[in-house]
Amino acid sequence: MSLDRISAHACFGGTQGIYRHRSTSIGTDMEVAVYVPPQAADGPLPVLTYLSGLTCTWENFTVKAGAQRYAAEHGVIIVAPDTSPRGLNIPGENDSYDFGTGAGFYVDATQDPWKTNYRMYSYVRDELPALIASEFKIDAQRQGIFGHSMGGHGALVMALRNPDRYRSVSAFSPIVAASRVPWGEKALGGYLGQDKEAWKHYDASLLAEKGGWKSPILVDQGTSDQFLEKELKPEILEEACQKSGTPLTLRRQPGYDHSYYFIATFMGDHIAHHAKILKA
């Protein structure tokens, strides 16, 4: 298991690297972006994984979010994987923007023809952190996760299901209830089949309602987001956290949309949120 470097760029005193590796959980090559801040010279650092939204690769976040500045300020490594396997030539894989390529939804598929390769949950939770730990000087006990939209869903699900692995979590305009909105119903139905019991493991609000996550959750949501009412529904997460006493700060940001202009605006707050918890 090793990373081949595609490119490396000096950035805010550290290095933004782009890598390719053969994924055992996915069964094909995957690309991943890793930002290593200047503090890496002084010893192991916390790791923050960012999960992107529908149609994205590592690139959108890496070039648009402005995260490197804050990662360099706080001394955290940032890992940004792709959103799905690519180029497998599975029939139907490229038919829509919200299923298949670019739309792995961070689940382990159980249905044919997806179950062999569409295993983003295991990839993000197990394989990628082990790979990063083997290639970079990280403090594996200090890991956080965040993401946008589908990736916000992924981050919340990862953290809430694995509080032993992640100390901090946040999200930008997340899909908070994947089992109950059109994007999620299509994806979970396709990857997991029509038995909705299986979907519950990938619904962030159902997971939050059960309790068990203790550190503060930060969520930013633009009020002018075109997907707000139909796909995102942050009030479902708000209610779930209230029921279980899970500490959630949900900020409704007036006038902001679903774009990286929104994400970039609040990226500094999110990385500060993680750094505070990870370095405590």
Interaction between residue 73 and its own copies (CB under 8 A) = no
Q: Rank residues 76 and 181 by Cβ distance to its own copies and give the closer one.
A: 76
Our CB check for its own copies shows the closer of 72 and 248 to be 72
Q: Which of 258, 270, 273, 274 is catalytic?
A: 258
Least distance (Å) between residue 119 CB and its own copies: 31
Give the DSSP letter string of the chain: --PEEEEEEEETTEEEEEEEEE-TTTSSEEEEEEEE-GGGGGS-EEEEEEE--TT--HHHHHHHS-HHHHHHHHT-EEEEE-SS--S---TTTTSBTTBBTTB-TT-B--STTTTTT-BHHHIIIIIHHHHHHHHS-EEEEEEEEEEETHHHHHHHHHHHH-TTT-SEEEEES----GGGSHHHHHHHHHHH-S-HHHHGGG-HHHHHHH----SPEEEEEETT-TTIIIII-HHHHHHHHHHHT--EEEEEETT--SSHHHHHHHHHHHHHHHHHHHT-
Instruction: Answer yes or no: 203 catalytic.
Output: no
Q: Provide, rounded to whole angstroms, the least separation between the CB of residue 40 and its own copies.
A: 14
Residue with smaller CB distance to its own copies, 194 or 261: 261
255 binds its own copies (CB under 8 A): yes
Active site residue 52: no
Which among 149, 168, 170, 179 is annotated as catalytic?
A: 149
Residues 221-240 that bind its own copies (CB under 8 A): 222, 224
**Known catalytic residue at 23:** no
The contact set with its own copies (CB under 8 A) reads 9-13, 16, 63-64, 66, 68-69, 222, 224, 253, 255-257, 259-262, 264-265, 268
